[in-house]
Copies of this chain bind each other. A is one copy, B any other.
Amino acid sequence: MPEDRTHKVSCSSFTYELEVAFEILSGKWVPLIIWHLADGEPKRFGEMRRLMPKVTQKMLTQQLRALEKHGLVSRKVYQEVPPAVEYSLTEMGLKLIPIFENVNGWAVEYLEKREES
């Protein structure tokens, strides 16, 4: 979290905004989580775990909570026994998807060119 906006001055061409974005997205499993929620379908915690077997339960919880705090993911708790929790992308979260697709497009081209050499 860029604590002081005066940083803007010392790094004039790296906008405060861009810095914030990369800070939010730089969580180790954040891109993966967002990508798995990209279809707009809410998913339960256990479902997410199964989709991402390499992510420990601790990290999944931690990163989901961070995304919730930042307003990219919403967490809906159903008061039942046993408890059920659903995660989904918020409006702002969904708006990241086209960007992710652009990144993916870039990467496809990148890998093609790498293989040539």
What is the interface of chain A, defined by CB distance below 8 A to chain B?
Answer: 10-11, 13-15, 17-22, 26, 31-32, 35-36, 38, 51-54, 71, 92, 95-96, 98-100, 102-104, 106-111, 113-114
CB-CB < 8 A to A54: which residues of B? 10-11
Contact of A107 among B20, B31, B32, B71 (CB under 8 A): B20
CB-CB < 8 A to A103: which residues of B? 18, 21-22, 99
The dominant DSSP class at the A interface is helix
- Cβ B17 vs Cβ A32 within 8 A: no
- Cβ B20 vs Cβ A111 within 8 A: yes
CB-CB < 8 A to A111: which residues of B? 17, 20
- Cβ A51 vs Cβ B11 within 8 A: yes
Give CA–CA (A18, B97) in the complex, Å: 12
Give CA–CA (A99, B109) in the complex, Å: 14
